[in-house]
Amino acid sequence: MKQVILRQGCAVVEQVPAPLVEPGTVLVRVDHSCISIGTEMSGLKTSGLPLWKRALKQPENVKKVVSMASSLGIKKTRSVIKGRLAAGSATGYSAAGIIIAVGDGVRDLQVGDRVACAGAQCAHHAELIRVPRNLTVRVPDALSLSHAATVTLGAISLQGVRRGNPTLGETFVVIGLGILGQLTCQLLKANGCRVIGTDIDRKRLQLGRSLGLDVALHPDDAPAIDQVARLTDGLGADGVIITAATPSDSVVSTAFAMCRKKGRVVLVGDVGLHLNRADFYQKEIDFYISTSYGPGRYDDNYEEKGLDYPVAYVRWTENRNMAEFLRLLAEQRVRLEPLIAATYPLEKAGEAYVAIDGGAEKPLMVLLQYPQPEVNEEVVRVVGNPAALPAGKGRIRLALVGAGGFAKGMHLPNIQALSDMYHLQAVVSRTGHNAVATAKQFGANYSSTDYEKVLADPEIDAVLIATRHNLHARMALAALKAGKHVLVEKPLALTAAELEGIEAFYAGKDSTVGLPVLMTGFNRRFSVFARRIREMVRERTNPMILNYRMNAGHIPRDHWVHGEEGGGRNIGEACHIYDLFTFLTGSRMVSVVALPLNPSTGYYGADDNFVATMQFADGSVATLTYTALGSKEYPKEQLEVYVDGMVMVLNDYMNLDFFGSKAKGIHSKIIDKGQKDELQAFAATISAGGAWPIALWEQFQAMEIAFRVEQFLVDGGGKCAE
């Protein structure tokens, strides 16, 4: 399919794999989409800025880069940044079209329904879009899809009006008569208000009058504050809605001055906010912020998981705002024809952006129109990379599944460095433009959004699964059944049932010889530090005491790692350490006990603040202290091993020191947790056969320990689990 991408100051139309429908979503073939003149043109200009200028505009990203460099190293960080710049960004947040597929859990929409869609995360300028249910509304029969494609702008305007709480007969001022201002004026008129509009562009004032504006004020004609006072018999406006975009602080000050006592001001646009107390204190002005399309925006539970707000408690959600705006359009209570400056075919989207950016007058609204396919035309979910080279002799042909930040920052640079072992055959991502950009950057033969295509490809030997945790077990098992070797990021599974499914695949076999290799990404055991400790304790005469401290840092409770996708931090991350204990002891676990912290506030959770102790068959005792309570300024990880008169101390996979031994320590300038060594071990096993890098029982044991600890965390602590 074709999609518009913003890259290096230009809008380009690229061929990318079409998305797959997912539970709770619908797949929509787009008929029209609406270009947001303000938001998208800002993104277009930012994409063309040099890196140092972007840093000045977005200082928060500089901190992220510094943090990334400290953990990944400068070379890999540079690779991540280069990839992001080359990839560009998907754009668009308002579209309309026809549903061609409905995901599980969506029962009130059907294939063939005409719908309008919103959301910067999904309603892109693309031939096919996957949209969550709560960001999708039916289009009334009397309304064209071209007009319905403006649904997002309408919902934004409608939410701004709702925040002002206008009543019949009140006087409202709208500052800024761009597209949001023009729609806001019409919505206020439909609500029975007297509307005064002001703008520095006389043509926009004239357009506003033609659409029902009662009074149009230009600031050069007379002071707008004085004019509003005269027009309201000296009382002032009941409310002011700001839809302008300017860094100036004077707009808000002017809005306060226009209001009567106990009036209200609503901010919809983007303006300077250095407030002067005197402007609003004496009049006791109410100042409201309008958040985008309405209640539900930026709430993943609402938008992505489909959890609606009960109408008795939240009358107007973003979805209900979208539907109401479309109703007003269908009933011609709001007019769009005079506001639409032009409609461009999708293939000329680049020209549309040039025209918008280069013209002396900014159009209010521009639409993109999409070609409609032939009957039964196949949806394309694989896009080749013409620049890719064929796999060299003896190379393992690998498919990366899940092209997120970690995969692009760690795994793919390592795969490039191991080009004598691997050839990147395919990149699979749930978003097509990310798959294409990653495939181009790292030289993959093709990109796809369909995992099944990879499993059916005979030219793929192995898959590297780096998706979110809830997909690991299912994808790994499917790949094993397809005869592919599997390197799956931790955790291997989120539940005992999932683990049992993988166990069943290998059950009843005398050995794993001839079967596809399964390797969980427990990379710490492959680090030079862990391997050195293993060498030092191999000839020990007594059991060990191992103390591991994980200063994990706080992650907000609504983050995906705590939810169904992540499985929590014990299963999702602490399993690394359970594997490391297994590696160092080389022994079976015999008992586990865990004690969670019971936080006094909801800021912290018991499931990422606990102490877990386990005993192994060789008599060794290992303890993990996992906490989100600490400071990120303190080192994240430390391991202490006490054995046979020695103490070994590993700090953050940079420094390993020995006490009570003449052995020389290991010191590194960067963190090395063994990710590259892990890939080398995986390749060696596939190419040469022999023992697996991590024995199957060890992989299962790490997860079984995690599941036992999890039960203690759920139960609040208890007796040892034998």
Per-residue pLDDT tens over the stretch 309-344: 999 999 999 999 999 999 999 999 999 999 999 999
Q: Which fold has domain 2-150+300-369?
A: Quinone Oxidoreductase; Chain A, domain 1 (3.90.180)
Q: Quick: pLDDT tens for 456-491.
A: 999 999 999 999 999 999 999 999 999 999 999 999
Q: Is 520 exposed, middle or buried (0-12, 13-18, 19+ CB in 10 A)?
A: buried
- CATH code of the domain made up of 153-289: 3.40.50.720
pLDDT(673) > 50: yes
pLDDT(375) > 70: yes
Q: Quick: pLDDT tens for 408-451.
A: 999 999 999 999 999 999 999 999 999 999 999 999 999 999 99
pLDDT(720) > 50: no
pLDDT(715) > 80: yes
pLDDT, mean of residues 42-67: 62
Alpha-carbon dihedral of residues 510, 515, 520, 524, nearest 10 degrees?
80
pLDDT, mean of residues 108-116: 97
Highest mean pLDDT among 118-132, 366-380, 496-510: 118-132
One-letter amino acid of 704: E
Rounded CA-CA distance 553/559 in Å is 13
C-alpha distance from residue 25 to each of 93, 95, 113, 195, 299 (Å): 16, 15, 14, 39, 16
Q: What is the assigned CATH class of domain 523-715? A: alpha beta
CB 90 within 8 A of CB 40: no
Give the model's pLDDT for residue 40: 78
Of 212-221, 356-365, 518-527, 663-672, the poorest mean pLDDT is in: 356-365
pLDDT(72) > 70: no
Which stretches does DSSP call E strand in 205-291? 215-217, 237-242, 245-246, 259-267, 270-271, 286-289
Q: Quick: pLDDT tens for 227-236.
A: 999 999 999 9
- Kindly state the percentage of the chain with pLDDT values over 90: 86
The pairing of beta strand 270-271 with beta strand 462-465: unpaired
Query: What are the φ and ψ backbone dihedral angles of 464, each rounded to 5 degrees?
Result: -110, 110
Give the model's pLDDT for residue 362: 81
Alpha-carbon dihedral of residues 77, 78, 79, 84, nearest 10 degrees?
90
Q: Quick: pLDDT tens for 81-97.
A: 666 666 789 999 999 99
Residue-averaged pLDDT of the chain: 93
Of 75-79, 555-559, 706-710, the poorest mean pLDDT is in: 75-79
Q: Quick: pLDDT tens for 562-591.
A: 999 999 999 999 999 999 999 999 999 999
pLDDT(38) > 80: no
pLDDT(365) > 50: yes
Q: Which fold has domain 393-520?
A: Rossmann fold (3.40.50)
Of 195-199, 220-224, 336-340, the poorest mean pLDDT is in: 220-224
Helices (H), 232-298: 250-258, 277-280
- pLDDT band (50, 70, 90) for residue 70: low
Intervals of CATH 3.30.360.10 along the chain = 523-715
pLDDT(538) > 90: yes
Q: Quick: pLDDT tens for 592-614.
A: 999 999 999 999 999 999 999 99
Intervals of CATH 3.90.180.10 along the chain = 2-150+300-369
Token output for 113: 């329904």
Of residues 85 and 668, more confidently modeled? 668
Intervals of CATH 3.40.50.720 along the chain = 153-289, 393-520
As a whole number of Å, the CA-based R_g of the chain is: 30
pLDDT(276) > 60: yes
CB 223 within 8 A of CB 247: no
pLDDT, mean of residues 125-131: 98
